[in-house]
């Protein structure tokens, strides 16, 4: 199972081009690595720093910044795989655990994000383990479980703001508390004390971010994505239906309609059969889904990822029920599972070999492959610029000062003073910045357009190449600047 996971996550790791957020995070990690004064650089944009710190460490050992960042997600995904297996084994059976782990490896949603240099795979892993240790704390009221739960919760909230969900879910683990025990009162008080320790540890870890004067930016950034309580009270159902519909459609696009139906069936069966473990996961999935539908102003498919593993376990739970009830012809269920997985597995294979042909959520196809945020052309332009003699000073201007451009170039030329990338915004293609025209008088100078999609007519620009964004109508264009 581990070999299957690693082969699926490491194969063609750069086949999907660098995405605008990945360029930002790789740049932050690079700055944090080389400048201790900027270890909290991500807080400038209201983003928690744990992923950036880990990426900075990885960049110390891996020369390609994009690969370094993506390897953090690969390792986090491996941690999620172990967490899913142990959690499902503890609350269900080994067979449920094996099916859950297999689904996690094969489904394109987890495969995609375990190969992207984004925060979400790390958050998912920490969420799984925070749930695992919270359950163990309820079952075995011991200090080590509280300490480990607190650490996982704390690291989750310094990865991404949605990590706070797992803190809210801590009391839910009381579903596994033995309320029939003769020493109920003393055991419950002991659990409450240890749970308080876990919460204290998590909040202490989170509040360590106050060491940076930019801590307040987290709350400000959150307001770009979620509504305030006052806004929700004023119009509770403003985005509820549209968000719920969109999140459901994205789920279906990633796992297929049969597995989505089985997830719904699992939630119904959980309460019908009064299976505490299934009820527990159902509440986590439904509460997270409902909260995002109600609160979020902005949603992306990756917002589903932190509770996706619990949905996988529920699907595995239903398959296991079917196997147990059919008995001797249980092979039929495995055939049905294989048929249900056929389309998602094909899409996973396409993500590894020809991502532009994969049938995944349109929002992700646009961001990562077909529209302006996708970094098609970056590798080719980087190689072209590196082909110049190192003794020759080269300048490249970019349409953009934050995001894919210029960061996708800056991360590759950080230690190369002979190539300098300079960002500009806004850019009028018919009237280039005076600085870039002045540099072109004495040095090889280029300009890269990414958002402007109109044909450019300018006597100071010589067209060199354009790179299509997947199967979309967006291109990255490279020009030489003529003085």
CATH number, domain with residue 431: 3.40.190
Residues 446 and 351 reside in one and the same domain? no
Cα 310 from Cα 292, distance rounded (Å): 16
Q: Which helix (H) or strand (E) holds 444?
A: strand 444-449
**200 in a domain, yes or no?**
yes
Residues 110 and 172 in one domain: yes
- Asked if 289 and 186 sit in the same domain, the reply is yes
**Bond prior to 118 in cis (omega within 30° of 0):** no
Please report whether residue 267 resides in a domain.
yes
For residue 478, the cross-strand partners are 448, 465
Residue 254 lies in a domain: yes
For residues 159 and 288, state if they share a domain. yes
220 and 327 part of one domain:
yes
Quick one: pLDDT at residue 331?
75
Residue 326 sits in the same domain as residue 261: yes
Residue 329, pLDDT score:
62
User: What distance in Å separates the CA atoms of residue 378 and residue 245, rounded to the nearest whole number?
Assistant: 35
Q: Is residue 305 domain-shared with residue 400, that is, in the same domain?
A: no
Cβ 425 vs Cβ 377: under 8 Å: no
Please check whether residue 372 lies inside any domain of the structure: no
Q: Are 112 and 146 found together in one domain?
A: yes
Q: Is 373 inside any structural domain?
A: no
Total Cβ atoms within 10 A of residue 220:
11
Helix H or strand E segment including 397:
strand 394-399
Same domain, 345 and 446: no
Per-residue DSSP letter, 19: B
Domain count, the chain: 2
Q: Tell me, what's the pLDDT at 336? A: 82
pLDDT (0 to 100) of residue 435: 96
CA distance 69 to 326: 45
Kindly state the tokens that stand for 117: 């240099």
Choosing from 323, 338, 364, the residue where a domain stops is 364
Q: In this predicted structure, what is the pLDDT of residue 182? A: 82
Distance of alpha carbon 152 from alpha carbon 148, whole angstroms: 6
Residue that has been written with the tokens 């403003």 in this structure: 238
Alpha carbon 332 to its chain's center: 35
pLDDT at 334: 80
109, part of any domain: yes
- For 214, the enclosing helix (H) or strand (E) is none
Q: Is 186 exposed, middle or buried (0-12, 13-18, 19+ CB in 10 A)?
A: exposed
Pairing of strands 444-449, 475-481: antiparallel
- Report how far Cα 78 is from the mean position of its chain's Cα atoms: 14
Give the DSSP H/E element, type plus range, for residue 463: strand 461-468
| Rounded Cα gap, residues 33 and 27, in angstroms | 10
Q: In this structure, is residue 371 part of a structural domain?
A: no
Residue 245: inside a domain: yes
Find out whether 237 and 243 touch, Cβ atoms under 8 Å: no
Mean per-residue pLDDT pooled into runs of 10, the chain (483 residues): 96 97 98 95 97 98 97 98 98 96 98 98 98 97 97 98 97 94 91 98 97 95 94 93 97 96 97 97 98 96 97 96 76 82 95 95 95 96 94 95 96 93 96 96 96 92 96 95 94
79 with 43, same domain: the answer is yes
Axis-axis angle for helices 276-295, 240-255 (nearest 10): 130
Residue pointed to by tokens 């008995």? 327
Give the orientation angle of helix 94-106 with respect to helix 2-10, to 10 degrees.
10
Q: Closest Cα partner for 454 from 434, 427, 435? A: 427
Among 364, 389, 406, residue at a domain's last position: 364
- Of the three residues 335, 364, 393, the one that is the final residue of a domain is 364
**Looking at the structure, do residues 337 and 386 belong to the same domain, yes or no?**
no
Residues 6+ apart with CB under 8 A from 17: 368, 369, 374, 375, 376, 377, 378, 379
Residues spanned by the domain of 434: 378-481
Q: Are residues 287 and 177 in the same domain?
A: yes
């Amino acid at each position: 199972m581990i070999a299957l996971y690693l082969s699926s996550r490491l194969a063609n790791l750069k086949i999907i081009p660098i995405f605008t957020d990945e360029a930002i995070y790789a740049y932050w990690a690079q700055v944090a690595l080389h400048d201790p004064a900027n270890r909290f650089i991500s807080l400038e944009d209201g983003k928690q720093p744990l992923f950036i710190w880990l990426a900075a460490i990885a960049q110390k050992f891996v020369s390609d910044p994009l690969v370094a960042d993506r390897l953090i997600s690969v390792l986090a995904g491996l941690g999620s795989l172990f967490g899913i297996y142990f959690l499902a084994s503890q609350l269900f059976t080994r067979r449920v655990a094996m099916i859950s782990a297999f689904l996690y490896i094969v489904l394109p949603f987890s495969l995609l994000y375990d190969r992207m240099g984004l925060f979400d795979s790390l958050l998912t892993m920490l969420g799984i383990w925070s749930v695992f240790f919270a359950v163990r704390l309820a079952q075995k009221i011991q200090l080590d479980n509280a300490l480990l739960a607190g650490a996982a919760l704390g690291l989750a909230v310094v990865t991404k703001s949605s990590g706070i969900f797992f803190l809210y879910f801590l009391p839910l683990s009381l579903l596994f508390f033995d309320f029939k025990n003769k020493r109920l009162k003393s055991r419950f008080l002991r659990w409450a004390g240890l749970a308080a320790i876990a919460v204290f540890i998590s909040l202490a870890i989170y509040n360590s971010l106050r060491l940076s004067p930019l801590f307040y930016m987290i709350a400000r950034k959150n307001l770009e994505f979620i509504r305030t309580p006052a806004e929700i009270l004023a119009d509770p159902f403003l985005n509820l239906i549209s968000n719920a519909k969109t999140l459901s459609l994205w789920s279906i696009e990633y796992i297929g309609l049969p597995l989505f139906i089985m997830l719904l069936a699992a939630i119904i069966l959980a309460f019908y059969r009064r299976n505490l473990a299934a009820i527990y996961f159902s509440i986590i999935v439904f509460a997270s889904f409902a909260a995002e539908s109600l609160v979020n102003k902005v949603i992306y498919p990756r917002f589903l990822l932190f509770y996706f593993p619990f949905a996988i376990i529920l699907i595995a739970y239903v398959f296991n029920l079917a196997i147990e009830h059919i008995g001797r012809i249980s092979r039929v269920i495995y055939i049905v599972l294989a048929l249900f997985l056929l389309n998602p597995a094909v899409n996973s294979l396409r993500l590894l070999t020809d991502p532009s042909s994969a049938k995944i959520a349109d929002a992700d196809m646009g961001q990562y492959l077909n529209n302006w945020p996708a970094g098609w052309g970056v590798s080719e332009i980087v190689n072209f610029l590196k082909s110049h003699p190192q003794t020759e000073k080269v300048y490249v201007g970019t349409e953009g000062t934050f995001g894919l451009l210029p960061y996708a170039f800056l991360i590759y030329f950080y230690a190369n003073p002979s190539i300098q990338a300079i960002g500009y915004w806004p850019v009028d293609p018919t009237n280039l910045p005076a600085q870039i025209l002045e540099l072109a008088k004495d040095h090889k100078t280029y300009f890269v357009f990414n958002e402007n999609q109109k044909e450019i007519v300018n006597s100071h620009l010589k067209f060199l190449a354009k790179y299509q964004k997947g199967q979309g109508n967006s291109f990255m264009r490279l020009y030489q600047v003529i003085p």
